[in-house]
A and B are shown apart, each in its own frame.
Chain A
Amino acid sequence: MSHLEIEHAKRLCLKLPIIEPSPAASITDGAIAVFHQLIQRQALDKELMIDVVDYRHLAQGSQVLLICHHSHYALDFADGVAGLLYRDRRAQGSLSERLSLGLSRLKAMAEAIIEPLALGFAGDRLLLRLEDRLWAPNRSEVAQQAQTVIARALEAAGHPDSAVVALEEDRRRALGFSVKLQRALIV
């Protein structure tokens, strides 16, 4: 798998950790109403917002989702980390273009819910996954190459010198990285 091939990896996921409130579980009830209000106000630019999904009954994973045509957003509890999750579903372009788009969409969503849900984010940290087992299978040599590709893409997206570290975890999961940005995405 070459650098060039990893550029094709689709379905980029970005997760911005929530540090307040702690535990974050207390916000999920409010999130249902807030997500519905975002649709009513058509608050997300360039997103075709479709519906809100309630998975609060699940002990893990995404709890409340906002389904859009191009992306899914969620308050997500997977990996033992509560966070705002962005999942690119149908974005086009190179990985850096999609990363840049993803970061701006994640930021816009975070800004839209930060006040109504009284949230605090770890704005300089991200969990990044490439949910594409065809172009980015979770193997150590792919992870190494992807690390470089992602760092470059982050630089092109306005985040130079970001620290990208491959996650050492179950190889059946989508290839994952922890990212430390030099400049916080949101404060």
Chain B
Amino acid sequence: MATWKSALAGAISEPLAEEIDGFETQMILRRQGALDEAVFAELRLRRGVYGQRYDNGRRHDGLVSRSLDFPSGETTKGPGTYWDAPGMMRLKIPGGLLSAEQLEVLAELAEEYADGVLHVTTRQDIQFHFVHIEDTPDLMRRLGAVGISTREACGNSVRNITACPISGVCADEAFDVTPYAQGLNAYLLGHQAVQDFGRKFKISFSGCGGSACALANIHDIGFVAATREVDGQTRRGFRAYVGGGLGAVPHSAQLLSEFVDEQELLPLTHAICLLFAEHGEKRNRARARLKFVVAKFGIDRFREMVAEKRQTLADDPRWSTYLAPFVEQPVASQAPGAASGASRGTALSHWQQTNVRRQRQSGYSTVTVALPLGDFTGDQSRALADIARSYLDGTVRLTVEQNIVLRWVSDADLATLYAQLADAGLAQPGAETIADITSCPGTDTCKLGISSSRGLAAELRSRYLARTLDPAIAALRVKVSGCFNSCGQHHIADIGFYGVSRKLNGYTVPHFQLVIGGKWAENGGAYGLAIGAIPSKNVPHALSMVLDHYATARAEQESFHDFVRRVGKAELKTLIAPTTVVPSYFEDRSFYSDWGDPREYTTGDMGQGECAGEVISPVQFGLAESEKEAFSAQLALDAGQAEQAAQAAYRAMLAAANALLRGKQLIVEEAEQIVDNFRRLFIDTELFFDPYAGGKFANYLLTAHDARDELPSLDSARRRVEEAQLFIEAAHACHGRM
């Protein structure tokens, strides 16, 4: 009987083959019940085998919540995760670099084991959806045969290492960071130092500090290329930042070192990984990222600890051997292409304006293939493989904006390349414009999704692709996450959205928080804050209002970021206020389902509506009050008033907690009483607990209460403001459950 294991024997390295065999054995043990489900869950995550929405065996079909009775019955692949439920498979593509051969194999795998689609993630990675766990060992073998690993693609480990997709051809870079990203990936993959983390760990490489390509600011470690003259010689190295991260409450990375020589890159990272394993939180996931270790010790002490740890490491030849064979990206020899018959007139020139950039090397350009929502099909992957072989150096790069970059395109080939892309349905214009929207999977496949980020992104994309836009508006970045976790990177977009829900008169309505003030440039240079929840179906209208206001009221050359700072969030909040109103269920039912999904949204929570008018409960009034306080906290923060901001954020949480107490017919006023009663009725009972995040949000109130007399820094005030917003969202969710 032929198997992929036998067919590929010899094509996969022996250690990898053994690892995959081992995983197959773990699968057998799990099916026999001989391996604990929680242990198996972490083991499979570390092999890139992830869960997916509805894998708990239940789905609401819009009318009723149904159980999905999978044939394997009660067998699970993790706590509350059924064996047969379709899952997600994530790969590791360091720096997003893929060869033509790899693109072809990915096409095969998407067709044979998934739903025919390859999805580019915001970590320059590929994931497949709707994969059965029993297909995963063969999938891994076939990937392994072309040099792709799924190891540590998920789970508490070093995730895919990202790097500028135009590194090596960019005019602004210090040097090409590609080999460093690849080298560090090879060094850390499966390394003992990264096996005992309490949480994921993300590393990026940027070629310069000005652009956003690799987003150093939002990483556990962000390396930015730099050079230094030493003894008359130019040395390569990196400015190193640590402790950044998005997630529910984003942290900006802090400068660890002005210059880490290239020879020190691997040992320094090794030392940081050891410190993270030693000092990182292991039990409380909410505080387990490196940013909390840095915050706990302070950056100065942390820097000392890294230096001390570095001294304990024994020399390892691998720290420098990976550098030796590296030569700068060779220029592929290109036969100048004949443009005849390939010209498609205005479409071509529009595409050239938005999707083509000059390389540093004259006569060559980079081309961005704008993938809608980061998706492409198996056939398109093969078409890209052909293009990589015919026009490029045999490779392509994935980007954190869920696109594909083609490098080394001879300018003479642009027209014929365009024609070939168009034939494959890959020549959509608008790359890196407002129409090129980044989105996380959201409610389509993510278990934590609250609103349909992909549905909204698709809707906005089609609207903005169809319009001729003011260049200042066209250049804006819009990013959407299905929940507060920020996988869609909404915090660093010019305009971000994240999914929330609101319960109104017995019906649950999908909403998105509008996030503004973020900065995509400067490696994710500033984080935006939420200014108000808008019902999903009104988001396009609200966005138009904000953009129209910017178009008409901006000062000359004023960026959107500066415009927001100048006019203030209060003005923008007032502007969008009319769009926050939800018509009653009987007036307009479309508001009660999400984009691209006609099912009534969370109808399991529905009661009978009141035709005569909306009934606002005291809880809703109280929550509205808390949102007002949270917003005043933001305004104080914008004005640089850290203490006022932190106090207002604390009051906002108290108001939200008090609103819930009112729902329990309890009327109290003093902060101490509110906190005590909230603890008794909502924390001890776990009523406030989030199904996935547990007591994380409740702790925000307790921490703020304990720290109410402390003088906060601007940074900690900002975090408190973020926490207040999340606490209020959790209060809304809790109210929905009550």
Contacts and interface: CB of A to CB of B under 8 A. Distances in A.
Interface in B94-118: 104, 107-108, 111-112, 115-117
B86 interface: yes
A53 B444 contact: yes
A180 interface: no
Tell me whether chain A's interface is mostly helix, strand or loop, or mixed: loop
Contacts of B227: none
A44 interface: no
B31 interface: no
A61 B382 contact: no
Contacts of B59: 50-51
Contacts, number: 109
B112 A132 contact: yes
B602 to A, nearest CB: 15
A36 B3 contact: no
Given A33-B598, A54-B444, A67-B86, A72 B115 contact: yes
B380 interface: yes
Interface in A164-187: 170, 172-174
Contacts of A134: 2-4, 7
A160 B500 CA distance: 57
Given A78-B379, A172-B107, A59 B425 contact: yes
Contact of B461 (A5, A36, A57): A57
Contact of A60 (B61, B380, B599): B380
Contact of A54 (B61, B84, B458): B458
A82 B61 CA distance: 27
Nearest to A32: B598
A78 B107 contact: no
Contacts of B650: none
Nearest to B376: A58
A32 B596 contact: yes
A132 B113 CA distance: 10
Given A53-B115, A53-B444, A170-B382, A58 B425 contact: yes
Given A36-B61, A51-B59, A72 B376 contact: no
A149 to B, nearest CB: 16
Given A40-B63, A172-B104, A57 B115 contact: no
A42 B631 CA distance: 46
Contacts of B209: none
A54 B457 CA distance: 12
Contacts of A60: 377, 379-380, 424-425
A135 B458 contact: no
Interface in A75-117: 78, 89-90
A11 interface: yes
B63 A61 contact: no
B145 to A, nearest CB: 12
Nearest to A67: B130
Given A57-B461, A60-B380, A78-B379, A89 B444 contact: no
Contacts of A72: 115, 130
B111 A174 contact: yes
Contact of B372 (A52, A57, A69, A135): A57
Interface string A32-43: 110010011000
A65 B375 CA distance: 15
B68 interface: yes
Contacts of B480: none
B538 to A, nearest CB: 20
Given A51-B59, A69-B70, A72-B130, A57 B598 contact: no
B373 A61 contact: no
A135 to B, nearest CB: 7
Q: Chain A, interface size: which category?
A: 35 or more
Contact of A50 (B86, B112, B380): B86
Contact of A131 (B63, B104, B112): B112
Given A32-B598, A36-B599, A61 B86 contact: no
A36 B594 CA distance: 13
A26 to B, nearest CB: 15
A51 B54 contact: yes
A57 B375 contact: yes
Given A36-B62, A58-B117, A58-B425, A50 B68 contact: yes
B304 to A, nearest CB: 51
B377 A67 contact: no
Interface string A126-157: 00000111110000000000000000000000
B375 A55 contact: yes
A98 B611 CA distance: 53
Contacts of B379: 60-61, 78, 173
B347 to A, nearest CB: 13
Contacts of B372: 57-58
Nearest to A53: B115
B123 to A, nearest CB: 21
B71 interface: yes
A159 interface: no
A71 to B, nearest CB: 11
A131 B117 contact: no
Contacts of A36: 61-62, 597-599
A172 B382 contact: yes
B458 A56 contact: yes
Interface centre among A33, A36, A40, A51 (most CB of B within 10 A): A51
A32 B452 CA distance: 15
A11 B54 contact: no
A131 B111 contact: yes
A174 B111 CA distance: 9
Interface in A1-56: 5, 8, 11, 32-33, 36, 39-40, 48, 50-56
Contacts of A135: 2
B86 A58 contact: no
Given A48-B68, A67-B86, A55 B2 contact: no
Contacts of B117: 55, 58, 61-62
Nearest to A62: B116
A133 B461 CA distance: 36
Contacts of B244: none
B686 interface: no
14 contacts: A36-B61, A40-B63, A50-B85, A56-B596, A57-B375, A57-B458, A58-B375, A61-B379, A61-B380, A69-B71, A74-B116, A89-B132, A135-B2, A173-B382
Interface of B: 1-4, 7, 53-54, 59, 61-63, 68-71, 84-86, 104, 107-108, 111-112, 115-117, 129-130, 132, 372-373, 375-380, 382, 424-426, 428, 444, 454-455, 458, 461-462, 596-599
Given A57-B462, A134-B7, A172-B382, 14 more contacts: A8-B2, A36-B598, A40-B62, A50-B68, A50-B85, A56-B596, A58-B372, A58-B377, A60-B377, A69-B84, A90-B132, A133-B112, A134-B4, A173-B382
4 smallest beta-carbon distances between A and B, as pairs: A59-B425, A61-B377, A57-B372, A60-B425
